[in-house]
Structure formats: structure tokens, C-alpha cells
Chains A and B, each alone.
Chain A
Amino acid sequence: MLVIKCPFCGERDQTEFTCHGEAHIARPENPDELTDEQWGDYIFFRQNIKGYQYERWSHDHGCGRWFNALRNSVTDQFVDTYKIGEEKPAIPSDEGK
């Protein structure tokens, strides 16, 4: 069971959190201008990276806040967590190891 650092509460057990998949996917501002394919990309397709990926999490059984995280999907280790709207942290240089 992982320890996850909520940017609002600090380190807590994984059981308090929910992962919501890829982060930084903005809702298109003018959906009508998108082709079906572009809209389909938004609603269906996610990168699902083996390695470092940016994810959205929520601290459901805690403060209830949503936040972003940079996590390695192979090792499950978190590089960092950060509040919505904050600059995303850089991917560590051991990428590909």
C-alpha cells in the first residue's frame, strides 16, 4: 500500500485516495468546432504510459480535494504531487531505465 502525499494534508495511506487517470486533459473550449475524431480523442483516448505519467488523484477519504501527481507506473513511486493549476514537475532524467 503506497504512501501518497496530499498537497493539502500531507502523507496518507493509499486507501484514502482514488486515481482518476491521466492529468492535464483540458475540456475543449468549443466542442462544436471539433471533428468526431478530435472529440473522440478527448473522451476515449489516454496515453497509459509505462513509466512516468501525470495523473489526477483525489483525496476522497480525507480533505476531498483533487490534485495532480507525477508517478512512475512501473515502480508505483511518486515523484511529486501538486495542486491543480500548479506547474507540472519535470520528468526525472532516469526515464527509460
Chain B
Amino acid sequence: MSQSNRIKTGGRIDRNKPVSFTFDGKTFQGFEGDTLASALLANNVHLMGRSFKYHRPRGVLSAGSEEPNAIVTIGSGKRSDPNTRATVVEMFDGLEASSQNCWPSLNFDIGGINNKLSRFFPAGFYYKTFMWPKSMWMKYEEIIRASAGMGVAPEEGDPDTYAVKHEYCDVLIAGGGPAGLSAALTAGRTGARVILIDEQNEFGGSLLSDHGAEIDGKPAMDWVDAALAELKEMEEVTILNRTAVIGYFDHNFITAMEKITDHLGPQDSNDTPRQRFWKIRAKQVVLASGSFERPMLFGDNDRPGVMLASAVRTYINRYGVLPGKDMVVFTNNDSAYKTALDAFANGGRVEIVDTRVDPKGPLVEQARSLDITIHTNAAIVGTKGYRRLKGVEVMELNEAGDGVKGTKFHIGCDVVAMSSGWNPAVNLFSQARGKLRYDEELTSFVPDHCQWDNYSVGSCNGTFTLEGALSEGLEAGLKAAQAAGFGEGQSVPATPSAPEVEHGDMRTLWYIPMDRPLARGKKHFHEFQNDSTVADIHLAAREGYISVEHLKRYTTTGMGTDQGKTSNVNAIAIMAQIRGVSIPQVGTTTFRPPFVPVTFGAIAGHDVEDLFLQARKTPMHSAHDRNGAIYEDVGDWKRPYYFPKAGEDMHAAVQRECKAVRDSVGIMDGSTLGKLDIQGKDASRLLNLLYTNAWSKLAPGKCRYGLMCNEHGMVFDDGVTTCIGENHYHMTTTTGGAGRVANWIEEWIQTEYPDWDVYATSVTEQWAVSILNGPKSRKVLEKLVDIDLSAEAFPFMAMKECHIAGVPARIYRISFTGELSYEINVPARYGLHVWDALLEAGEEFDICQYGTETMHVLRAEKGFIIAGQDTDGSVTPMDLDMDWIVSKKKGDFLGRRSFTRTDTARTDRKQLVGVLTEDPNVVLMEGAHLVRELKDKPPMDMLGHVTSSYMSPNCGRSIAMALIRDGKNLKGQSFMVPTMSGKAHKVTITDPIFFDKENKRIDGEPS
């Protein structure tokens, strides 16, 4: 029976364009213009999903973005899109949808057992399991995840492309219903730059479903069409449909997600992005985001077929679908009567259950005149049917509305259309720090004030008449444009006439009583997606979780993908009732972005694959590629880690490289080292401030090593700085610390000493650095340079300017290995040329390319620290046994005063020492702790931890450095290092210099 619920005519679907689609593998027919939900309802399919906790069968509740139940997966394989609301999925031919949260099938779900066991899954279940012993949580998490999934993320990469667009405008209007369109008209007419955004495929908002609404005596949609036509002619107006505003941040920064091809289905080409993420800065914002209808909270109100009254009306009028033949409208207000009348007009059998004692007003009279049965002062106390609603049980209410009386009677029906009033969609307003006010008459929260420039108009402002919405929109649009500097002197045009029938009063009952105590046999769901019931709110209150923030987390109300759009106010009101306080006293939680779910693809936009994190590469990178380097990420840099030869693993390669450097000569790429060019009359004054040692007497052409401390006296970077000429220095920093040091210098010279004549410029990327290391480095270099390299002519800690392989260079004779070493700096564009020339010149000496790991081993053999590895922000120069570098004479410098603070001056602080294992083949794990006494299990008295640890081929054994409490006094003593596997190693504390203690190798072999 195809589309048995489709009404013969009408609706905004295109009946000339039939489509076919599948749901859980079964094929159905629909039309273009349908949503997945409307097309399924047309085929009389209500069961669309299972609930999160109890796995109860669920049908569609709403017709819009607030949908909590009909959550499905669209597509399959790498294009599968989990957790999608069926109510906002536009139909296309070939659409593939599947249900979630159920196994083995939607109709028979084994997790439904949770429903039977529900007394073991009370509210606060997750909360409580978190409080239990932590070790148990892991176990629970496994079970919970397996049984309560929320759709499955695709495992393959997303084949679609996504875009991000930044935009600026004078007036941004969120929502394209009557209020939003009105605002766009008056704002647009001033010439202001306007962006009008609506989530749906068509503009018109509530008017799309409001059959019979008229503006200026004509169908309301004629007015919508005319407004759009006028807006499209305006050059400065951007109109975005299928675009949801999802975030409203400070200073009117708005994010929105535009669906570009979703409604067309998977695309063959990637020329058009699937979605576009908008980041918009607006001078003024008009919020016209509409409102959400509230469900009635009665026993077993979650059966498939129980829907919001306005949604039923939308399916009838907009999609030409009568969701069921036998309908009970359950309401406390007049607006649901429109649903009853429209259903009746389209051939539905309708009865009305109204909580009000004496409903009156034109709509009620109209229903009576059509002989529609109205049960007044009555309420649904329970439902029949499991996978589909079969009927309702109705009883009379008592005077207070907190109990029922009389005899229960049954009405057979397949749809309930319910309404317990409306909540303005204040979500975006609240995201923007807007404060809400409780409106007693509307029984809901409305916008009060906000620190940013915005206007709420229409039903999101609590204005529920069409004329009111039009009038507020026209006024706010002009005001906003004027505040942005447009339309001076213009006045607000007259509001078009849109007469409406009067509505009677509401009778708000926050939940509907039954003929037995709450929670006995039936559940009153207020939050459908997370299965939170009225009884759960009572439980939360009994257990003391009475604040709105606790209530939310305890019951998980509002924590689903729908963020409680239909449930929050009901939950707050019930808590207020229980506590005997007013609703504003309970208050609301703050609404958070995103307003509706957003794909990761849209957020990532273009920043994927190569553009995700752009790598910094040195000028020699292509040579490293060519020579088989394995890379290590250091900050954003790609640095060669090691250069394996055929068949070598990392360990073998590093051991070979370490030997080769000390035996002959090695070469590494040092281009990533931070470099700063420092100039000005106060340059040496700056160095004296930054470093712990003295700099005033450093002659041009000479280099000096320095430690930098922060004002706490803790080491944070180190490096060699060279005097290039008068008032001119070249500073080097660690690779990772380059940015930090540059900022540090700027901070001091800009804020504290702005009168100093000194400038620091980052030149890290201007210089390519090839570093030769090893006894034969002089022999390699002398083939390429035009200067005398003898130790006399070019001593250690000197710099020479010269030419190498025909290009200008600065060569620094400094060493991070203890070997004869030359750090050859050339302008970046010559880096590759010089690297290749050095490799060629070194060939006869078996020159060895090496990477960062070998550099680490070689420096550790000499006990040289790496700032950030052997220091951690809590280590002073004295802790490093580097008292020699702290000047006592030069006067003040950064951090000096802290050295005499009681804690810093302690002599038993953690100090850097060497650690040798008893077994020379054991390489300790970095981070491992030394303990005084080994015990079966922690806690043990920990002395400190290993900071660097390697197998050293040049020492013929493992070596390590560690920060050890009172370490300097413990040299020679033995301790234990327990390991993760339960074993322990015996170690001895030593001096941290393991190789060439006398520093004999620094001048290398003579030439």
C-alpha cells in the first residue's frame, strides 16, 4: 500500500517528481519536497528509531530541528551520516536511510530489555557509576557503549569537500519566517549589507504550514514570495536558505552551516562543496528564530504516533500527509484546534481532549460546529500500543489538575496531536549571554536583555500573532540598519494587516496525573531522546539534585542531540513545582552552541589533509627525502630523525650514526634552530638582562653559551649568541623555544624598557644551517672554504665570515657533541647547494648524515642539557650544576633575585645527575623514578626521575640523566628503578658527563 497517508492534493511537495528511497533496506515512494519523515509518514511508517536508554520504539515527534526521536543514519559506507534528524533530511531519489540504536532490528531490538529492567537504570545511573570505584567504570563504559550507541561513525575518509567562508555584514537576520523577512525588507531597503539566513529549503517559517493564513487579504505565502522577490533585487542582501545559525558568540560573531548539496544526494564531482561553514561578524543581529511547541507529559506519551500538534499540522498542510486516520488532539490551548480542524478537513476522524474546563473562542466553536467531539476538563492518562499507538485512555481531571476522577474510557486512535503551549526559541539569544525573563502569561522564558546589539522578533520574542511578528520585524530591521549607520530619517512602514481569530486562555498542567502513582507502570517522558521521565525529576529532587545544573546532569535532560528544545522548560517547571518555588527561581541552564548538530566536515572545512597542519620544512628537505630520512615532528618542523640504511631499524641506524660522527665525520641539518638578529646600542644590555652570564666584553667574531631564566629563576631556554660586530649579535635558541624567546624579548623591550635602543628580529628561516661534527670535519670543510681552519686561526667559540662552495657564509665553531664542529650558516636559498657540496666533499671520509636522535645521544654522552627535556620549568642553573654560568658580578638580570628565595636556595633541590644502570644493556625509560627503597607496590619514596636515557655506542653502555633530590650529594650511591612490568633495575648516581671528560676532542684532528 503505497503512500496510504498521502492527501490527494495540496502541500508544497512536487507531485510531478516522484522519488524512491529506502529505509532499513525497504523501498518506499515519496515526492520531491518531502522530508524523510514526511515521506515515511506518507507510507504510514511511524516507527523510526529506538530511544537511547530503554530502547523504546519511537516515532517522529516534530517536523523540524527540535526532533528528539527520529534520529537516523543517512547514506552508507564512507558517506554515512549518523545521528541525522529525519525531519530535516530533504528527500531525493535514491536516498538511503537506516535506523540506529537497535539490534538486531528496529522491530525487534534486544536492548528493549533495558525497558523491562528500567528500575535498574534509574536517573543518575551514569552519574552514580562514575562515583563508584574508578576501576569499575571501565567495565560499565564498555557495556553502556555497546548497548546505547548513537549511530556509527564511518571508518573511511570523507570523500566530500567542505568550505569555510568569512563574511562581514551590517545586519544579520537569523530566521526567514514572517518576522525575519519583515526585518530583512526594512534593513535591506536602507542599502545596508544584510544576510538573511534560514534553516529550511524554503522561506516562510510558520507560514509554510499555516493553511489559511492571510496577509493584506491574500494568502500569506503570496506576501512571502513578494518579499523574497524584492530582497533578491537588493544588491547588498545575501539570502541563505538551508543554512542553520548554530552559534552566536561575543561581539556578534555568528557561525552557520549551509547545506549545499545534501538535498541532491551524493555528488560525482567534488567541484561543489557539500556544506559550507560561515563565520560572520555582524554589526547588528535580528533573531527571528521562532518557537518550539511543548509536548504533553502523560503516561507512555512516547508511543509512535504521539506527535506535537503543530507538527501534525505541518505534515498535513506542507507535505500533504495525514499522519493517521484516527486522531486525538490533546491540548491545553487553542492553537491545537487548528490541527484538529485541518485534519478533519482532510478526512481524518478527530476527537479533542482538552484540559480546560470551559474552552471557548472562535476555534473551539468552529470545532463544535463540525460536531468534533471535545472532552473538556479531561486528560489522557495512558496509551495503548507498543510499536504503534492504538488508543488512549482518558479520565476527568480534578479541580487542581493534580489528580483524575470518574471512569476511565478508551478512544481508539493511531495519532495523538498534543500541545501544552509554546517555548520561544531563545537558544541563540542565550548563547550570546542574553538574560531570560519568565513570562507568567506565556508560561515560558522570553528574551530580556543582552550586552550585544541584537533584537528578538516574532515568536522567539514571545510574540505569537502574525501581525505582531510582522510589525516587530519591520521595526527591528530598520532600527538595526540605522544603528549600523544606514537609513537615516527613514520611518517604519505600516504593518500589513493579518487578522487572526482570538485565542482563549491556557490551562497549564506541567504533567498529567494518572489514576495511580507516578511511575507505576507508565512513564511520563519529558525528554525523549535520553529517556528522562517526570519520575526521574522527582528522584533527582529527593536525592538533593535540585539546582537546574545538577538536574540537567543527573537526569541527562537536554544533553541529547536535540539539546532539550522540547523538554527544558517542562523539566524546570516540574522541579519548581516539587520544590514549591517559582520557575524563575529554578532558572535555566545556559544554552550552548551548536544550536543544531553540525558535521565535523563543515567545521574542518578546507583544513584537512595537507592543509590540516602545514609542515615547516628546511631548505635541505628535498635532499633528506632523497637520502631516505625518517622525520620527527619538532613543533611544526619536519626534522630528520635518522637516516636508515637498507635493513636497519631505528636502533641500528642511530648506533651507527653515533659511532660514525665520533670516528670520522657526520653532518646534520640545524636550520630549525631558532635565530634572532639583535641590533642597537643597547644590544649587549639586553643580553645582560636575558642571560645569567656577562656579555659586555664579548668581542666581534666571538661566541658565548648562555642560559635564560624567567623571573622565578627557572631555566627556560639556552643557546649560543655571537657578536657579529659593534652593537650587533646573532642569538640562537632551541628549535621549540624560538617563538617563546622572541616573545619574551619583545615583552621586555616593548613594555619595560621601551627607551632602550635595541631590536630583535627573527631570522630563523633566513639561514640554512649545515653542521659538521667529528674529528674529520676540518678535512671536509677545508675543501670548500677560502679561510684558514687551523685551531689557531679559527679557535673554538669563534665565528668567521667567508665563502663556502662559492656562496657567502658565517661559520660558527661551536659544538653540541664535544667534537670539532662547524655550524655553517648560509642564506636559506643556498642551503641545499651547500648541503650537497658538503656531502660530496665528505664522501672520501664516509661522511654520515644523522638526525635528531643521534644528536640527542651525542650531547647526552657529554652531559649537555636540552632545555625542555632535562629542565621542566622548575630547574635553576644551580640545579643543573651550572653555577659557573651565573654571574655574580654583572649586576641584575632576569630571575637573579629568585635565586636567593628560600625555596630556590635550598641545597637539596632536585639536581641534574648522571645515572648508570648496573646492567649496561638496560636502557631506562625516560620518566622512570628512582626510589630509595623498593616495595611491592607504590607508594615508594621517590627521589626524582630520569630525563634522558640512551644506549651509547661510544661509551659501550647505556647512559642516563636524571633530576634527583639532593642528587649532587648522592653521587656514588645506588638506588632502584621500578618499571611498569614489575621488574626493577639497580642504578648508581654519577656525574652526568660520560664521554671525553677532559674535553680533549674539541679541536679534532689537525689538518
Residue ranges of A at the interface with B (Cβ–Cβ < 8 Å)? 1-3, 13-14, 20, 26-28, 31-32, 34, 36, 39-40, 42-43, 56, 58, 60, 64-66, 75-77, 84-85
Contacts and interface: CB of A to CB of B under 8 A. Distances in A.
Nearest to B710: A43
A34 B897 contact: yes
Contacts of B549: none
B250 A31 contact: no
Nearest to B281: A3
Interface string B876-917: 000000000000000010001110111000000000000000
A75 B896 contact: no
Contact of B896 (A2, A26, A31, A84): A31
B864 interface: no
B451 A1 contact: no
B754 interface: yes
A34 B711 CA distance: 14
B752 interface: yes
A40 to B, nearest CB: 7
A3 B902 CA distance: 44
B57 to A, nearest CB: 43
Contacts of A31: 892, 896-897
B751 interface: yes
B251 interface: yes
Given A1-B253, A20-B747, A27 B897 contact: no
B280 to A, nearest CB: 11
Given A31-B892, A56-B751, A64-B746, 18 more contacts: A2-B250, A3-B281, A14-B250, A20-B747, A26-B752, A27-B752, A31-B897, A32-B892, A34-B897, A36-B900, A36-B901, A39-B901, A42-B711, A43-B712, A43-B898, A66-B750, A76-B250, A84-B754
B743 interface: yes
Given A3-B281, A39-B897, A56-B751, A66 B746 contact: yes
B433 interface: yes
Nearest to B252: A3
Contact of B746 (A1, A14, A26, A58): A58
Given A3-B281, A26-B752, A43 B902 contact: no
Decide if the interface of chain B is mainly helix, strand, loop or mixed.
helix
B251 A1 contact: yes
Contacts of B711: 27, 42-43
B886 to A, nearest CB: 15
Given A3-B251, A36-B902, A84 B897 contact: no
A51 B592 CA distance: 23
A65 to B, nearest CB: 7
B249 interface: yes
A65 B251 contact: no
A2 B747 CA distance: 23
Nearest to A84: B751
Nearest to B712: A43
B545 to A, nearest CB: 27
Interface of B: 249-251, 253, 281, 433, 451, 711-712, 743, 746-747, 750-752, 754, 892, 896-898, 900-902
A58 B712 CA distance: 22
B697 to A, nearest CB: 23
16 contacts: A1-B250, A1-B251, A3-B281, A13-B281, A28-B897, A31-B892, A39-B897, A43-B712, A58-B743, A58-B746, A58-B747, A65-B750, A77-B451, A84-B750, A84-B751, A85-B754
Nearest to A24: B751
A83 B653 CA distance: 54
A20 to B, nearest CB: 7
A31 B281 CA distance: 47
Nearest to A26: B752
Nearest to B749: A66
Nearest to B742: A64
A73 to B, nearest CB: 13
Q: Which 7 A-B pairs have the closest CB atoms?
A: A31-B897, A66-B750, A3-B251, A1-B253, A2-B250, A43-B711, A66-B751
Contacts of B747: 20, 58, 66
A95 to B, nearest CB: 16
A1 B752 contact: no
Nearest to B250: A2
Contacts of A1: 249-251, 253
A1 B451 CA distance: 14
A43 B451 CA distance: 35
A92 B824 CA distance: 58
Contacts of A13: 281
Nearest to B689: A27
B743 A60 contact: yes
A34 B743 CA distance: 27
Contacts of B750: 65-66, 84
A60 B740 CA distance: 12
A58 B281 CA distance: 22
Contacts of B892: 31-32
Contacts of B251: 1-3
Nearest to A33: B897
B608 to A, nearest CB: 20
B746 A39 contact: no
A56 B748 CA distance: 12
A39 B904 CA distance: 13
A25 to B, nearest CB: 10
Nearest to B251: A3
B657 to A, nearest CB: 38
Nearest to A75: B451
Contacts of B751: 56, 66, 84
